[in-house]
Amino acid sequence: MLKLFFSSPVQIGIGIDEVIVRHQKRTGKFYSSSTVTKSSINNSQPWDTQLRALLTENKIRNRTCYVHLSNDFVRHFIVKPAKNTLSLRDCRDVAYARFQTLFGEKHEDWLIQGDWNQQYPFFACAILKSLLHQLAQLTTEFKLRVLNTTPQLASVWNAHRKALSASDLLIVIDKNLLQIICIQQHGIGDIRMIPFFDTHEVQHNWLEQQIRIESLRLGLGEIKKIHLVGNLPIAWKNSSVGIIDLTTKNTIPQATSILHYVIGYERK
């Protein structure tokens, strides 16, 4: 119990092709600076095999931890409540129906959470219950107390939401996926997932074109600010679009994946 109390939480990031752990190493009676370790085994191995190897290698047991799940494991969507939505239960029912319509899967197999709102469209995400059960078994094996399990996009949103205002855009770059998030007065108003490839990186105005397309599609007026989280391709940095880079707002390990980025956060 004393070890749980005095040590800082371990940060665990889980993706299909990468698993990483951020923790503080014990030096004598104290825990020293943070260390990021990445699985050295074949990335084709299941994530739980990689995570078990990391926890064993770093002798991480009897600790508290935060878990961040990459977009590989999460379904994101926007839910528009019906006019007769009156309660939290109504919000959940609308979200379940929306999920089944979009993805054609039974909502009972997924844990669905959202920024529940009875009046305005709200952001929701879904995680397979089987994955959460698998994670619970593994953390129990290593006597880890999970403080929170959060999708990486939700982690980014939670970390920066105070810096965002209505009519702003939040752009999150995750590997070859561009996520354009429209911020409205009540929170996230809409979200678009757009794949991009190397051929787009040499077109300096591609990002600007995508922002213009989404602005027209969503009927947005003047965009106040554009915020970025992730690694902006070099060619895009010459774009005329003014971007506020939030990636540099925190002291975190430099890496190519947004998954590495979000594990630098602890719950405020």
pLDDT at 101: 95
Question: Which strand (E) or helix (H) includes residue 218?
Answer: helix 206-218
Could you tell me the pTM of the whole model?
Answer: 0.77
- Span 220-240, average pLDDT: 71
Q: What is the pLDDT of residues 161-186, one digit of tens each?
A: 787 887 788 888 877 788 888 887 77
Q: What is the pLDDT of residues 89-139, one digit of tens each?
A: 999 999 999 999 999 999 999 999 988 888 888 889 999 999 999 999 999
pLDDT at 33: 58
Residue 266 has pLDDT above 60, yes or no: no
Sequence-distant (≥ 6) Cβ neighbours of residue 194 within 8 angstroms: 177, 178, 179, 180, 210
Distance (Å, whole) CA 178 – CA 193? 6
Q: Round the average pLDDT of the chain to a whole number and report it.
A: 78
Comparing 95 with 263, which gets the higher pLDDT? Answer: 95
**Would you say 79 and 98 are in contact if contact means Cβ atoms under 8 Å apart?**
yes
Distance (Å, whole) CA 200 – CA 206? 6
Distance (Å, whole) CA 81 – CA 57? 47
Number of helices (H), then strands (E), belonging to the chain: the values are 8, 13
